[in-house]
Amino acid sequence: MRDQTRLRQPLSLVIGLLAIGVVAWLAACRTGSEAPTPSRVAPGDTDGVIAARGLTPDDVYAAVKTYMPTGRKDDYVMFASGGHSGQVFVIGVPSMRLLKEIGVFTPEPWQGWGYSNETRAVLDGGKVRGKSINWGDTHHPALSETAGDYDGRFLFINDKAQSRVAVIDLRDFETKQILNNPLATSDHGGTMVTPDTEWVIEGGQYAAPLGTAYASIEDYDAEYRGLVTFWKFDRGAGRIDPARSFAIELPPYWQDLCDAGKLVSDGWVFCNSFNTERATGGIEDDNPPFEAGASQRDMDYMHVIDLKKAAQLVTDGKAESIEGFQVLSLEVLNENGVLYFLPEPKSPHGVDMTPDGRYMVVSGKLDPHVTVYDFEKVKTAIAAKTFTGKDDYGVPIIDFDAVLEAQVEVGLGPLHTQFDNQGYAYTSLFLDSAVARWSLGGASGELNPEPDWTLVQKTPVHYNVGHLVAAEGDTVSPDGEYLVALNKWSIDRFLTVGPLHPQNFQLLDIGGSGETMKLLYDMPIGNGEPHYVQMIKADKLNVWEVYPEVGWDPIHQKKSENAVALGEEKIVRDGNNVEIFMTAIRSHFNPERVKIKKGDHVVWHITNVENAKDATHGFALPAYDINLSLEPGEATTLEFDADTDGVFTYYCSEFCSALHLEMAGYFLVQP
Ligand code: RUQ
Ligand code: CUA
């Protein structure tokens, strides 16, 4: 019986294949007169492909504009926040290829981020009240600047969820420092930098008692406070210095995005706020929900901050200490004329300085205009005390009409604005799902052939655009050329990958004065929700391809004290402490056998002694939750208690050579 079945199978297979063949042949006959399917276009027949795929001239233009022949490199690099992945994405423009994900707030095993002593120490810098937090909600990356222009040296990023900031060194694209703001539970308007990166700005978000102490929500007005923090950046050390950093106490509004002044407005900082209604929620107690309670007033307050004066007050010892952090109280701010409020319509979100530093552009989420303020007029109003009164916390309110330059009707749900090199601004319209291009007027309008402060054009994007970015579009010298719309979700744009949809980055061509913006590329982001992106000319980056010296400690950017040289491999036991000195080289670890006893404390130093570009090794150790990435020249240390006995094989987790599978060893833990 069994044999017969086996014989019958090939026969039925042949009959089946014949049947499929006949059907296919019939189908081919029927479609013979129609356009050829792509697979039947001869290789090299470009016109045939265009016809077969039904591409329009615009499609072909977009393809030609973004395609990178193999080996050719992108003109621009985007640094995108990774949203609630806690990381940063590095993307080439115009190809929109993902080049790297940088581990920041979230352990990232493939790059060994959070598994070695060195990287764990960086993550531990972001402990919140003694507790390790293994994720973040990154929002606003900020490239370091010199004289208001990107200098390609550092990148900063915030964690909205835990009020933290991180410093990334752009020589090796690795995170070097994470700090928790001890005063706040959340932030949003960070990170932004001042024109020479002396200060990294962290704008607040949800008001709470300073120092994260407890206070009843019934005591909101008296006990809850807003906050903007100025972290002092030490460029030489490549670190923020918390001891020289300070915050300013603010009324319990919800501070949002900030931008630093530049050129004529250098030394000043402008931050939006919403919920100046001081709604405290509580629908369960018949209070209006936040969304209604926080949107009642027609105007909220831009916070106009004299940062130079504030820093001087801190130097003069006028700050108090809360949770060990320097804070200038509202009283000190008011006594010394550091803080002013500027009415801004309506539930504002983005505030963006024009490239010449002359005008602040504000978008009110519930107002179809962008509102443009003249900084010179603001200075005059402050000097002449052209105020309409004070808020409940004693902060002077500048007369709106005295400083207003223009309002441009751009469309529904304006959020963020960037600039190009032709005198245009670009504002994202969340509700319209469009990008508005409008011309700058006033003193900024010189470059511009169009009339002042006028909407020029709107281009639909797909869809719900949040931030947008133009090439170097928030610096003193924007490049124009490319713009990317950061759209929330991507319904109908890509193959469905389940109910959690990717986000969509859309690349637009904005080169050419006054011409129509053209859509060039859709890029799905299948990881977190990137909020903001900055785009830098690629040739401004000076990135190492291998570490400068074998035995390098990337966290401290110098040769490691724990570097292990070839020939110096050893295992040293001192009581229950076992210290392993290991090298990695194609294609072996040395030693290949590590024998210890259960209960030993293990300190394991590994140095990748190769410095060829293609010689990264991994180090995977099962059951102990360890994976390292040892880039060429890198030295690292890991430490753990051997609390599990057994036989464990460590191996190299990067395919480094033909004999990569042989790059392994035995970790023998005796009971
Ligand atoms: S936000 S979509 Cu976190 Cu910058 Cu405006
Ligand atoms: Cu080293 Cu694989």
Q: Where are the alpha helices (DSSP H) in 55-104?
A: 57-66
pLDDT of residue 2: 39
How does residue 643 score in pLDDT terms, banded at 50, 70 and 90? very high
Say yes or no to pLDDT of 651 above 80. Answer: yes
Residue 200 in 3-state DSSP?
strand
Question: Would you say the CB of residue 605 lies under 6 angstroms from ligand 2?
Answer: no
pLDDT band at 347; cut points 50, 70, 90: confident
Quickly list DSSP for 461-500.
-SS-EEEEEEETTTSSS--EEEEEEEES--TTTS---SSS
Return the pLDDT at 435.
Answer: 97
Provide mean pLDDT across the span 546-555.
96
Q: Rounded CA gap, 361 and 372, in Å?
A: 5
> Residue 35: pLDDT above 80?
no
Beta strands in 6-87 (DSSP E): 76-81
Task: Report cis status (omega within 30 of 0) of the bond before 560.
Answer: no
pLDDT in tens, 122-165: 999 999 999 999 999 999 999 999 999 999 999 999 999 999 99
Here the tokens at position 421 are 């090199």
**What are the structural domain ranges in the chain?**
4-66, 76-540, 552-670
Cα 561 to Cα 565, 607, 608, distances in angstroms: 11, 11, 14
Cis before 94 (ω within 30)? yes
Choose between 525 and 447: higher pLDDT: 525
Nearest CA to 556 among 564, 569, 565, 547?
Answer: 547
Atom of ligand 1 nearest to the CA of 257: 4
The H-or-E segment that residue 288 falls in is none
Cα–chain center distance at 557: 23
CA of 630 to the centre of ligand 2 (A): 10
How much is the average pLDDT of 57-74? 96
What are the Cα distances from residue 593, in Å, to 120, 147, 586, 629?
Answer: 26, 55, 17, 20
Type of residue numbered 3: D
- From the CB of 620, is ligand 2 less than 6 Å away? no
618 close to ligand 1 (CB < 6 Angstrom): no
Closest residue by Cα to atom 1, ligand 2, is 617
> From the CA of 619, how far away is ligand 2's center (Å)?
8
Residue 54 C-beta-side C-alpha neighbours within 13 Å: 3
655 alpha carbon, closest ligand: 2
Q: Residue 448 and residue 442: Cα distance in Å, rounded?
A: 10
Which pLDDT tens digit goes with each residue over 128-140?
999 999 999 999 9
Q: Is the CB of 652 under 6 A from ligand 2?
A: yes
Assess whether pLDDT exceeds 80 at residue 3.
Answer: no
Query: Does residue 654 have its Cβ closer than 6 Å to ligand 2?
Result: yes
| CA distance to 46, 167, 545, per residue, from 39 (Å) | 13, 49, 40
- Provide the CATH topology of domain 76-540: Methylamine Dehydrogenase; Chain H (2.130.10)
Ligand 1 pocket, 532 CB below 6 A?
yes
Q: Which ligand is nearest the CA of 203, by number?
A: 1
Ligand 1, atom 1: closest residue by C-alpha: 531
> Rounded to the nearest whole angstrom, what is the distance from the C-alpha of residue 547 to the centroid of ligand 2?
18
- Nearest residue CA, atom 2 of ligand 1? 466
pLDDT of 30: 41
Mean pLDDT of 188-199: 96
Q: What is the pLDDT of residue 53?
A: 96
Sheet (strand 226-234) strand order: 190-193, 199-203, 226-234, 239-250, 325-328, 320-322
pLDDT above 50: residue 657: yes
In this predicted structure, the answer to whether residue 34 has a pLDDT above a threshold of 90 is no
Q: Which amino acid is at 576?
A: N
CA atoms within 13 A on the CB side of 369: 13
Q: Is 656 in the pocket of ligand 2 (CB under 6 A)?
A: yes
Which secondary-structure segment (H or E) carries 552?
Answer: strand 552-553
pLDDT grade for 39, boundaries at 50, 70 and 90: low
Please determine, for residue 109, whether its predicted confidence score (pLDDT) is greater than 60. yes
The per-residue pLDDT of the chain, averaged, comes to 93
Q: Is 576 helix (H, G, I), strand (E, B) or coil?
A: coil
Q: 660: Cβ below 6 Å to ligand 2?
A: yes
- Higher pLDDT among residues 664 and 212, named by residue: 664
239 C-alpha to ligand 2 centroid (Å): 33
466 lines ligand 1 (CB under 6 A): yes
Task: Report the range of poorest mean pLDDT among 299-313, 334-348, 511-525, 635-649.
Answer: 511-525
For ligand 1, what atom is nearest to the CA of residue 416? Answer: 5
Q: Which pLDDT score is estimated for 514?
A: 54
Q: Based on the number of CB atoms within 10 Å of its own CB, is 489 exposed (0-12), middle (13-18) or buried (19 or more)?
A: middle
Q: Which ligand is nearest to the CA of 618?
A: 2
Q: Taking a C-beta distance cutoff of 8 angstroms, is the pair 568, 550 a contact?
A: no
The pTM is what? 0.93
For 189-202, b/e burial (b = at least 16 CB within 10 A) is bbbbbbbbbbbbbb
The arithmetic mean of pLDDT across residues 427-448, rounded, is: 93
User: Span 294-299, mean pLDDT?
Assistant: 90
Token pair of 9 as six digits: 């199978």
Instruction: With cut-offs at 50, 70 and 90, classify the pLDDT of residue 342.
Output: very high
Which pLDDT belongs to residue 445? 87
The answer to whether the CB of 372 falls within 8 A of the CB of 360 is yes
Which two structure tokens, joined as six digits, stand for 431? Answer: 């509700």
CATH number belonging to domain 552-670: 2.60.40.420
pLDDT beyond 90 at 305: yes
Q: What is the DSSP letter of 511?
A: -
At 452-470, the pLDDT tens digits run: 899 999 999 998 999 999 9
pLDDT for the residue 513: 56
- Going from the Cα of 662 to the center of ligand 2, the distance in angstroms, rounded, reads 8
Whether residue 139 has its Cβ less than 6 Å from ligand 1 = yes
- Report how far residue 12's alpha carbon sits from residue 9's, in angstroms, rounded to the nearest whole number: 5
Predicted local distance difference test score (pLDDT) of residue 534: 98
Q: Please indicate whether the domains covering 76-540 and 552-670 agree at the CATH topology level.
A: no
DSSP label at 225? B
Asked whether 467 lines ligand 1 (CB < 6 A), one says yes
> Rounded to whole angstroms, how far apart are CA atoms 197 and 475?
13
Residue 17 pLDDT greater than 80, yes or no: no
- Closest ligand to the CA of 630: 2
Query: From ligand 1's centre to the CA of 415, what distance in Å?
Result: 8
Q: What spacing in Å lies between the alpha carbon of 397 and ligand 1's midpoint? A: 26
Residue 515 predicted with pLDDT over 90: no
Determine phi and psi for 308, rounding to 5 degrees.
Answer: -60, -45
Q: Which residue, chain included where needed, has tokens 């490199």?
A: 73
